[in-house]
Structure 1
Amino acid sequence: MQDAGPRTTHRRRAVGDLTWFLQLKYPPPRFQKPVGVVVLFMLSLLHRTLDRPHLGPGLAWPPAADAWRRARAALVAAATAFALLAAPALAQPPPVEAPPGEYRLDPDRSSLRINLGFAGGLGATSVRFTRLDGDLTHAPGAQERARVKINVDTTSATASAWTRRSALAALEPERWPQASFVSDRISMDGDGAWTMNGRLTLRGVTRPITLHGGIAEPTGAPSADAPRLRFIGRGRIHRSEFGLPAPTLTRDQMELRFDVEFARRRPD
């Protein structure tokens, strides 16, 4: 007799072979938010309640009415969990539009990451810098006046031990304790995407660079008197253009990924 397929394969395994408990019949679905996971769990609980009722007190099977009562309770719990998880997103107030003005980088909510690829596409490693400072001139409707300047403390590199040692040896923070970016031109379109042309200074060498990214929701709590702006983006450079020595088997091209958040300066 031929196998009936993936739904019945586990029933044909030997009782003593318990490894099939660790194998999923189908790959689990992926969800962007935990709402789907909770609903999936509650629906599976509902199915279990209907299909496999538990023994009650005295090892007696409960009547059908009890099974349906538990099923209704499970369904109500699933709906409640969905409401609790979805309500915060639906109840959030509309974002506060950031007015023009001078903004200061929030160092607690900003970081820069450099991704280093290995030759031959054999994977990658990264270095994260956690101490940044900078300023932003926000000028909606007058992009020619918009300016960004960001300084990065090169001693704040965090990574695995080998990667951090290699990064510090290449950056030589005792000679060049800071890397900096200064924008020359910022172009924005209607859906929040932007292109930023500017100059990157690394190890005392300045080269032009183009960054691409978008505006994201601030992680800090913006308000009418303390608006915030958050930018996420990336760019690429070649280490050889800045005189950066390359660790063994790493590519010349590096990717910069940054997540920076600015808060409007309060008037003096």
Structure 2
Amino acid sequence: MQKTFARLTLAAALATGLSAAALAAPTTYEVEGSHTAARFSYDHLGLSTQIHRFDTTTGTIVLDPAAKTGTVDITIDTTTVDTGHEAFNGHIQGADFLDTATYPTATFKSTKVNFDGDTPVSVDGDLTIKGVTKPITLKLDSFTAKEHPMMKKPVIGANATAVIKRSDFNAGKFAPAVGDEVTLNIALEAVQK
């Protein structure tokens, strides 16, 4: 009887340990393109704040809240810049700015995801634009993890911001008349793979 009890206790402990390990495993999410947008804004001649976007953003996010770790790997197709005006799209894609003929993508690769409890609050990483890589921190203005009401799969959502200088990425033409500081804003949704 004592041996049977010991075996049951050991089995229960192993089952509990395996369940905890399964819950603590990292989860991989794929960026959902129709609800993810990378936007950027800047001062135009002191007249207005211009806000534009890129239509195609892809990537993968891996999160392990129990271990307080994660990775973020995002690619922005810079040829999909959308200013609302076709001729201006071409201007932004030119060699003085994004030079999309040579550099058709911009990337962000995390070096660290920072947590407050179980919630990510910022992501340190390397932003590459026009072949130039600089460290930045994306501040998460919001973060949500839940089951998607229609897909019935785990999903995460976030809004992230950072301020960069475009001149740091060899895209500083007309600065400072046209603002050198650019605010990046990413509205992101990603679904568990």
Taking structure 2 as the reference length, what is the TM-score of the superposition?
0.77
> Does structure 2 conserve the Cα–Cα contact (< 8 Å) formed by 1:127 and 1:164?
no
Q: Residue 171 and residue 107 in structure 1: after superposition, are their counterparts in 2 closer, same or farther (change >3 A)?
A: same
Q: Residue 119 and residue 143 in structure 1: after superposition, are their counterparts in 2 closer, same or farther (change >3 A)?
A: farther
Q: Note the 1:1-268 alignment, pairs <5 A.
A: 100-120=26-46, 122-144=47-69, 146-161=70-85, 163-169=88-94, 170-190=97-117, 192=119, 194-213=121-140, 214-216=142-144, 221=149, 226-247=153-174, 249-265=177-193
Higher radius of gyration, 1 or 2: 1
Which residues of structure 2 form unaligned runs of 5+? Answer: 1-24
Whichever residue aligns with residue 113 of structure 2, its letter is I
Which residues of structure 1 form unaligned runs of 5+? Answer: 1-98
Whichever residue aligns with residue 181 of structure 1, its letter is F
Whichever residue aligns with residue 235 of structure 1, its letter is A
Aligned length: 166
Q: Which residue of 1 aligns with 2:14?
A: none
Q: Calculate percent identity across the aligned residue pairs.
A: 25
> Does structure 2 conserve the Cα–Cα contact (< 8 Å) formed by 1:192 and 1:215?
yes
Q: CA deviation at 1:233?
A: 1.2
Q: Residue 158 and residue 220 in structure 1: after superposition, are their counterparts in 2 closer, same or farther (change >3 A)?
A: farther
Whichever residue aligns with residue 185 of structure 1, its letter is K
Q: Residue 192 and residue 139 in structure 1: after superposition, are their counterparts in 2 closer, same or farther (change >3 A)?
A: closer
Taking structure 1 as the reference length, what is the TM-score of the superposition?
0.56
2:163 and 2:147 map into 1 onto residues whose CA distance is 26
Q: Which residue of 2 aligns with 1:57?
A: none
1:217 and 1:232 map into 2 onto residues whose CA distance is 13
1:219 and 1:172 map into 2 onto residues whose CA distance is 40
1:176 and 1:130 map into 2 onto residues whose CA distance is 16
- The structure with the largest helix share of the pair is 1
1:220 and 1:108 map into 2 onto residues whose CA distance is 14
Residue by residue over 1:165-194, the C-alpha shift from the partner in whole angstroms, topping out at 9 and shown as x without a partner, is 332121111100110000111112148460
Which fold has the larger relative contact order, with Cα–Cα distance below 8 Å and residues 6 or more apart in sequence?
2
Residue by residue over 1:32-78, the C-alpha shift from the partner in whole angstroms, topping out at 9 and shown as x without a partner, is xxxxxxxxxxxxxxxxxxxxxxxxxxxxxxxxxxxxxxxxxxxxxxx
2:147 and 2:161 map into 1 onto residues whose CA distance is 19
Q: Residue 149 and residue 222 in structure 1: after superposition, are their counterparts in 2 closer, same or farther (change >3 A)?
A: farther
Q: CA deviation at 1:138?
A: 1.3
2:146 and 2:40 map into 1 onto residues whose CA distance is 22
RMSD: 2.6
- The structure with the largest strand share of the pair is 2
